[in-house]
């Protein structure tokens, strides 16, 4: 996933240039564990291995990073991004979508409120080939995991494909914070985890890479981060 600074940040799904114990009710960590977690810096930086916490993203969380991770600012209430740069570059994002782009028969798209059932939205998207969902648990919260591969039709008129230098891609959401456009690039494989009730919010986690060996390697490292997630009480 890369970002092209062209008046707005463009997150194009993965272009290569792309538990520990929690409280049984909410998956949150204890006060001592949250206290030792570091906030993410506000500017792009390489990050030391260790425990980190969100500051702006809602719902709040902590997670553990290994080597070769960097943050992908800005962190906002709808998005928290991280980049892994070992043997290539991949990204992992936590999203709390407020809006999505709904494809239309005309080939254009319409921005609508994010649906309550994000799993079904991804599964029935006409330009995304989605695998069968399987149950997962992240930080004590149950959800669904599946993979998607975009296929862009000839008559599709997405915003991301009109950006200078962009590959063919499928628009997913334009963040209401104004910080970026979320899009998936054609031919790249994305792993999606949807958690529909994290303290009353729907969280979508996205990571991936090109199909094949790199996908397995990148997703294996990203999964370690996901497995370390704890949802905070505030």
Q: What is the domain partition of the chain in residue ranges?
A: 2-231
What percentage of the chain carries pLDDT values higher than 90? 58
Residue pLDDT, tens place only, 70-114: 999 999 999 999 998 876 677 899 999 999 999 876 667 889 999
Split at pLDDT 50, 70, 90, the class of 21 is very low
Give the closest residue to 177 by CA, choosing from 101, 59, 76.
Answer: 76
pLDDT of residue 17: 29
Phi-psi label, residue 139: left if phi above 0, alpha if psi -120 to 50, beta otherwise: left
C-alpha distances in Å from residue 108, one per residue of 32, 72, 105, 112, 200: 50, 30, 7, 13, 32
Q: What fold, for 2-231?
A: Protein Transport Mog1p; Chain A (3.40.1000)
Model pTM? 0.84
Inform me whether the pLDDT recorded for 4 exceeds 50: no
Residue 206 DSSP SS3: strand
pLDDT of residue 234: 60
């Amino acid at each position: 996933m890369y970002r092209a600074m062209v008046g707005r940040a463009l997150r194009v799904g993965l272009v290569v240039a792309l538990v520990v114990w929690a409280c049984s009710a909410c998956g949150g960590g204890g006060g001592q564990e949250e206290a030792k977690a570091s906030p993410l810096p506000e500017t792009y930086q390489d990050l030391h291995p260790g425990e980190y916490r969100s500051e702006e993203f809602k719902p709040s969380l902590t997670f553990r990073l290994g080597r070769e991770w960097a943050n992908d600012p800005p962190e906002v209430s709808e998005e928290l991004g991280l980049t892994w740069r070992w043997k290539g570059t991949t990204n992992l994002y936590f999203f709390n979508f407020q809006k999505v782009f709904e494809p239309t028969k005309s080939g254009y798209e319409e921005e609508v409120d994010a649906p309550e059932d994000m799993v079904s939205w991804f599964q029935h998207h006409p330009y995304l080939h989605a695998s069968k969902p399987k149950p997962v648990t992240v930080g004590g919260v149950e959800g669904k995991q599946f993979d998607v591969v975009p296929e862009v039709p000839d008559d599709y008129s997405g915003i991301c494909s009109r950006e200078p230098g962009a590959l063919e891609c499928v628009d997913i959401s334009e963040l209401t914070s104004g910080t970026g456009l979320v899009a998936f690039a054609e031919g790249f494989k994305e792993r999606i985890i949807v958690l529909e009730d994290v303290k009353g919010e729907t969280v979508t986690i996205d990571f991936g890479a090109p199909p094949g060996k790199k996908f397995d390697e990148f997703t294996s490292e990203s999964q370690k981060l996901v497995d370390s997630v704890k949802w905070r009480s505030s």
